[in-house]
Amino acid sequence: MSTHRQEGFSLLEVLVAFAILALSLGVLMNIFARATQTTILSSQYSQAASLIESKLAAVGHAIPLEAGSVVGDPENGFDWELSIMPVELSEDAVTEPPATAYVIHGSVLWRDLGKVRRLTLSTLRLGENP
């Protein structure tokens, strides 16, 4: 009497292998999606920093160096605002300084996936006494 032996995988083994494959692919897709979102957000922060740095550099040239705030037109989905304030000196100063120091706060706002993102940078600038 001869015995006939079957070779190969059973249906249960194939189903378990497909389940493991599906779970692994799901985890990998999630990792790649998060990496893509992080890359996009990093690019947006880089664009925002570049925009606000250029606006801060323009103060005293294209943007007058005087107390107040300046709100600009949206650029590529980024709204920006500058706040310019003179630095208050102590009343103990003996002489009037030859220049006025201004603190400038620049903010950029944009929307990303339903969230409002903000980047704020600050600098000091010297201007003539009023």
Domain encompassing residue 30 = 11-128
* E-state strands within 11-114: 68-71, 79-86, 99-112
Asked if 94 and 87 count as a contact pair (C-beta separation under 8 A), the reply is no
Tokens 């990998």 correspond to 28
Confidence label for 128 from pLDDT (cuts 50, 70 and 90): confident
In a domain, 2, yes or no: no
In a domain, 39, yes or no: yes
43-101 pLDDT per residue, tens: 999 999 999 999 999 999 999 999 999 998 888 899 999 999 999 877 776 677 788 89
**Does 26 have pLDDT greater than 90?**
yes
Count of domains for the chain: 1
In a domain, 5, yes or no: no
In a domain, 3, yes or no: no
* pLDDT-above-70 percentage for the chain: 94
In a domain, 72, yes or no: yes
Query: Which is more confident, 77 or 7?
Result: 77
d(CA 117, CA 115): 6
- Give the global pTM: 0.75
